[in-house]
Chain A
Amino acid sequence: MSEFEAYRGLFVAESRENHENLVKNLLIIEKGPNQDAIDEIFRSVHTLKGASASMGFADMERLCHAMEDIFQLIRSGSAEMSQDLEDLLLGCSDVLEHMIDDVEGGGDTSSLNPDEQVQALKKMLSELGGNSVKKEKTAPAAATPVADTSATSEDTGDLPLYDISITVATECMMKDVRAMIAIGNLEALGTITTINPSKEAIDEGKFDGSLTLRIASEAGEDALKTAALGTEIASVEIKPAEKQEKKSEDASSGKKPAAAGAPSPDKNREIKNLRVDITQLDHIMNLVEDLVINRGRLKQIAEQHHIKEMDEAIAMVDRSVSDLQNLMMIIRMIPLNHIFNRLPRVVRDVAQYDSKEVEFIMEGGETELDRSVMDGLNDPLLHLIRNAVNHGIESPETREAAGKPRKGLVRLVARRDRDNVIIELVDDGAGINVEKVKLKAVEKGLITQEAAETLTTDEAVELLFQPGFSTADKITDISGRGVGLDVVRRSIESLKGTIRVETTPGKGSRFELLLPPTMAIVDVMIVKINGKRLAIPISSIIEVANFKRDDSHHIGKGEAILLRDEVIQIFWLNDMVGASLVCEILIVVQYQKKKCCIPVDLVEGQQEVVVKPLSHFIGTTRGVSGVTILGDGDVVPVLDVNTMV
């Protein structure tokens, strides 16, 4: 086993691809016959079988083998897919996935016993008429070998004749194939006049391990023997045939095939793609981040000390670091398909569980995101999709009664929009029942009855994101996993993204996720309050305005300002940096259509920074998403606008 350790990572990566391909195509054939998909499934299962056998994962191999047998039948057209078979195969693919997980964690799949699946597959195979497969596989070697005395009508002229008998090694697994290879090699050197058993018989598998033949050849005994004596050939006996005078033995210069072309120089051995361990990439990313910080530091030192000579060098370093940074960003990007690919399966399972009919459409899977964003996106997206089918789409009967097609539509669309990746999940279901939401919220004590009556639709929908809210009447296997939309929102926000919902009663809902393609490096505005610096992400800033203390109005406990006919709440950062008496500039920030403004003393400038998360020793700090280290070594908090407005 240990010699294979080096291949473990490779095995896992490629097996995952094959597993995904398997599931994807299983879902395609569930919708209707599709020969391409069947071929793809066969190829994936076959590859998984070969790879697991090579790694010595016997259980995984056994399972793949059983699946392959079934698909051999389906591929040849002698059996058809059925719903039972589809379910069984999807179940098998789940076991396969667990096995791959197990291997990834250092296991050897032996903890996952596929007996149940293998038995079910075998039963299915015999029901589907597995006999035809067996026949093909274990062609009996016992049948009467038929001699072929007229193998060729070609004129052998007066070439020397030899009688050759060949015995294939007993341990050989495909004796007939070995015999065919030996015959083929001999035919390259001469003409076979008689052969027993005949070539046709051998081809049909009627071969018990030894054959005799007569060949007319001028290649000579040695050359013939070498040609016949291949791998797994136990013995070759050769003697000149009787009734034939030996002719020129000198002809052994022979017909040996010429060496296949002149070898070309090694120039073509370049490798175009590499697989790199993700932890190494993360490490490189950390180094790049350090470089970014130190680049800023160098710039500052040169400015402080007026070292003109360094300008050019710094400009060069600056450019290289920028290029490096961009390159790293690109390298870390992976297409959304990475997580999208498993979603059709989820939709199918939920729909089946709920007896709903759902068409699932995915677009824009090629849109790329940073791996770290992708990692955090998987669970929330899964949850939203489950919700869309479970809560959004109605039962076929309800839909028909409402004059809608029986089949509900769930669309998942991803696209790049300037600095963001937008993922939309749209369903044409019942929409969110605002009244029900309000009722639940009052019941759960989230709002008062009076407040509920004045809530707008948007505000009511917002309640869905409150912790501890769930409108499902009962907890189901599918979406009631104790996780609500509040967790979804928190996950998305931890990725520096936002989530928005629009809903129309009877028409459906639309969830929109707005995500930064990458998290690590952010464009920020550096501001100063009370001599302390703070960084505000540029993406959330919409305006910088003048501020006079007299302009502010006290409303209850809060303070607001009228800016361009709009009342905007003022958010003082006094408890963070201490009260400042200057504060003549307002930074207006926005999050999900809601605005607030932060009074600051000074805007220092704009720059790209690396945001490092806060250590868990500090705990949750509302309003701060992390810190960054500026060029002069100053550690500056980065404001988290989302939690402020």
Chain B
Amino acid sequence: MGKILIVDDTLFMRTLLKNILFSGGHTIAGEAGDGEEAVAKYKELKPDLVTMDVVMPKMNGIEALKGIKAIDPAARVVMCTAVGQEQMVKLAIKTGAKGYIVKPFQAPKVLEEVKNVLST
């Protein structure tokens, strides 16, 4: 079980994800609504894991991932993606993301990925 920072520009997705993560026994370290906020919150909260949306205003998920990796190379970041974004996800994995989950989220899959990434 870990402390998780949820990054997504919509409250809807954050709430959805938060409830899934709660149901898996995780705690929510915090939430961020854009890439800039994500990097700032990461620095401040030092969560065990970050779920990162790709398409966001101000700073997109890839840039935020780079920012977080610059602060903490060991950061565990799971990308939130949708079908059709393979290239983005690959870029994220090469940049240092540890995993990905696909929207629409299925609770068991999300929890499995989070568990696996936390165990690395």
Q: Which A residues are closer than 8 A to B by beta carbons?
A: 7, 10-11, 14-15, 18, 40, 42-43, 46-47, 49-51, 53-54, 56, 65, 68-69, 72, 136-137, 139, 173-174, 176-177, 180-181, 184-185, 188, 203, 205, 226-227, 229-231, 256-264, 268-269, 275
Q: Which of A68, A205, A229, A275 contacts B84 (CB 8 A)?
A: A68
Do A173 and B83 form a contact, CB below 8 Å, given A53-B103, A231-B109?
Answer: yes
Q: Which of A14, A43, A260 contacts B47 (CB 8 A)?
A: A260
Of A11, A188, A227, A261, most buried by chain B (CB within 10 Å of CB) is A261
In the complex, are the beta carbons of B89 and A177 less than 8 A apart?
yes
Q: Is B113 an interface residue (CB 8 A)?
A: yes
Q: List 14 A-B contacts (CB under 8 A).
A: A10-B15, A50-B13, A51-B10, A54-B16, A137-B84, A174-B102, A176-B86, A177-B90, A185-B120, A227-B120, A230-B117, A231-B99, A231-B112, A263-B29
**A contact residues around B82 at 8 Å (CB):** 46, 49-50, 53
In the complex, are the beta carbons of A263 and B46 less than 8 A apart?
yes
In the complex, are the beta carbons of B30 and A269 less than 8 A apart?
yes
Do A205 and B86 form a contact, CB below 8 Å, given A54-B103, A263-B3?
Answer: yes
In the complex, are the beta carbons of A180 and B94 less than 8 A apart?
yes
CA distance A51 to B44 in the complex (A): 29
CA distance A334 to B46 in the complex (A): 36
In the complex, are the beta carbons of B29 and A269 less than 8 A apart?
yes
**A contact residues around B89 at 8 Å (CB):** 174, 177
In the complex, are the beta carbons of B86 and A7 less than 8 A apart?
no
Chain B residues within 8 Å of chain A by Cβ, number: 48
CA distance A553 to B62 in the complex (A): 82
Interface hits, B47-64 → A, CB 8 Å: 47-48, 55-57
**A contact residues around B87 at 8 Å (CB):** 136
In the complex, are the beta carbons of A264 and B45 less than 8 A apart?
yes
Do A10 and B86 form a contact, CB below 8 Å, given A54-B103, A185-B98?
Answer: no
Do A50 and B46 form a contact, CB below 8 Å, given A181-B93, A184-B93, A258-B74?
Answer: no
Q: Is the interface of B mostly helix, strand, loop or mixed?
A: mixed
In the complex, are the beta carbons of A260 and B48 less than 8 A apart?
yes
Min C-beta distance of A235 to chain B, whole Å: 15
In the complex, are the beta carbons of B90 and A181 less than 8 A apart?
no
With A46-B82, A226-B119 given, name 17 new contacts (CB 8 A).
A7-B16, A50-B10, A50-B13, A54-B12, A54-B104, A137-B84, A173-B102, A177-B89, A180-B94, A181-B100, A185-B98, A203-B94, A205-B86, A230-B120, A257-B74, A269-B28, A275-B11
Min C-beta distance of A549 to chain B, whole Å: 66
**A contact residues around B45 at 8 Å (CB):** 264, 268
Interface hits, B105-119 → A, CB 8 Å: 105, 109, 112-113, 116-117, 119
**A contact residues around B44 at 8 Å (CB):** 264, 268
**B contact residues around A256 at 8 Å (CB):** 120
In the complex, are the beta carbons of B100 and A177 less than 8 A apart?
yes
What 9 pairs between A and B have smallest CB-CB spacing? Answer: A261-B46, A53-B104, A257-B74, A54-B104, A231-B113, A50-B103, A180-B93, A46-B55, A230-B116
CA distance A139 to B47 in the complex (A): 35
Of A7, A51, A231, most buried by chain B (CB within 10 Å of CB) is A231
Do A260 and B94 form a contact, CB below 8 Å, given A50-B104, A53-B104, A173-B83?
Answer: no
**A contact residues around B93 at 8 Å (CB):** 177, 180-181, 184
Q: Which of A7, A203, A260, A263 contacts B76 (CB 8 A)?
A: A260
Q: Is the interface of A mostly helix, strand, loop or mixed?
A: helix
Which B-chain residue is minimally distant from A174 (CB atoms)?
Answer: B86
CA distance A69 to B104 in the complex (A): 18
In the complex, are the beta carbons of B55 and A51 less than 8 A apart?
no
Q: Is B75 an interface residue (CB 8 A)?
A: yes
**B contact residues around A49 at 8 Å (CB):** 82
CA distance A262 to B109 in the complex (A): 28
CA distance A229 to B120 in the complex (A): 10
Q: Which of A15, A43, A137, A181 contacts B9 (CB 8 A)?
A: A43
In the complex, are the beta carbons of A10 and B12 less than 8 A apart?
yes
Min C-beta distance of A616 to chain B, whole Å: 38
Which A-chain residue is minimally distant from B74 (CB atoms)?
Answer: A257
Do A51 and B12 form a contact, CB below 8 Å, given A176-B90, A263-B48?
Answer: yes
Min C-beta distance of A613 to chain B, whole Å: 34
**B contact residues around A259 at 8 Å (CB):** 48
**A contact residues around B13 at 8 Å (CB):** 47, 50-51, 54
Which A-chain residue is minimally distant from B9 (CB atoms)?
Answer: A47
In the complex, are the beta carbons of B11 and A14 less than 8 A apart?
yes
Which B-chain residue is minimally distant from A259 (CB atoms)?
Answer: B48
**A contact residues around B99 at 8 Å (CB):** 181, 230-231
Of A50, A68, A137, A258, most buried by chain B (CB within 10 Å of CB) is A50
Min C-beta distance of B20 to chain A, whole Å: 11
Min C-beta distance of B91 to chain A, whole Å: 10
**A contact residues around B113 at 8 Å (CB):** 230-231
**A contact residues around B29 at 8 Å (CB):** 263, 268-269
**A contact residues around B86 at 8 Å (CB):** 136-137, 139, 174, 176-177, 205
In the complex, are the beta carbons of A264 and B46 less than 8 A apart?
yes
Min C-beta distance of B120 to chain A, whole Å: 6
Min C-beta distance of A132 to chain B, whole Å: 12
In the complex, are the beta carbons of B11 and A231 less than 8 A apart?
no
Of B9, B11, B12, B119, most buried by chain A (CB within 10 Å of CB) is B12
CA distance A496 to B55 in the complex (A): 44
**A contact residues around B72 at 8 Å (CB):** 260-261
Min C-beta distance of A193 to chain B, whole Å: 20
CA distance A139 to B89 in the complex (A): 14
Min C-beta distance of A557 to chain B, whole Å: 63
Min C-beta distance of B58 to chain A, whole Å: 11
Which A-chain residue is minimally distant from B41 (CB atoms)?
Answer: A268
